[in-house]
Amino acid sequence: MTKYYDIDDIITEEETVSVIFQKAASGVGIDPSAEIDFIEAGSKVELPFWLAHELQLRQAVSVNVPPCFNQKTRLEIQADSASVDLRSRCPFFYEFGCKIAPIVADRTIGFLLFSAFKSRYKEVLTKAHTATFTAGSKFWTILTKEEINLYETAQSAMASFKKWRMGGARFQVASILRRKRKSTE
């Protein structure tokens, strides 16, 4: 419940997963183009994560491992994790991974997330504090939302330091005072 109003969390749960219905369900029009509003047991359907999770708790469906954690992605992360475009696969790769791992009962996703983050962290670290905004913009299109947060934290800390170092007005004039002076001029 702590994350109930967290927009990022809501978007993460919107991610679709493919599920297989274990029980027949009638009166559900999940696919608007379907001719009958009836789902047979064993049919494969794409559902948002939050719905799949609830149905899985009631043993109505079984959840497949989503494509962003498939063999191909794993191999790519293993080969060169820093240049894998994780954002296009799943913008909340890590959050989603943490949520899906217990549901698909795949204990290896934890390892995958951890090793991916570990090596991508270094890349973010070296680029975040040094690269200027324009140079970095190409790099950050492949980052996931979590990594972008990290990257932006570093960038804003650096930017505020540079702003301070360049100097400028030490004290800001209150807007009321400024207005008063203008009117007398």
The residue (of 165 and 181) whose beta carbon lies closer to another protein is: 165
The residue (of 38 and 111) whose beta carbon lies closer to another protein is: 111
> Is 73 in contact with 83 (CB distance < 8 Å)?
no
Based on the number of CB atoms within 10 Å of its own CB, is 177 exposed (0-12), middle (13-18) or buried (19 or more)? exposed
Neighbours of 39 (CB within 10 A): 21
The residue (of 51 and 146) whose beta carbon lies closer to another protein is: 146
The residue (of 86 and 112) whose beta carbon lies closer to another protein is: 112
Q: How far apart are CA 151 and CA 52, in angstroms?
A: 32
Largest CA distance in the chain: 81
Least distance CB 32 / another protein (angstroms): 26
> Is 17 in contact with 100 (CB distance < 8 Å)?
yes
Contact residues: another protein, CB under 8 A: 20, 62, 64-65, 69-71, 74-75, 77-78, 94, 98, 101-102, 104-115, 117-118, 121-122, 125-126, 128-130, 146, 149-150, 153-154, 156-158, 160-161, 163-165, 167
Least distance CB 183 / another protein (angstroms): 29
Least distance CB 34 / another protein (angstroms): 21
Least distance CB 75 / another protein (angstroms): 8
Least distance CB 78 / another protein (angstroms): 5
> DSSP per residue over 83-114, as a string?
G--HHHH-TTHHHHHHHHHHHHT-THHHHHHH
The residue (of 33 and 133) whose beta carbon lies closer to another protein is: 133
Q: How far apart are CA 10 and CA 50, in angstroms?
A: 9
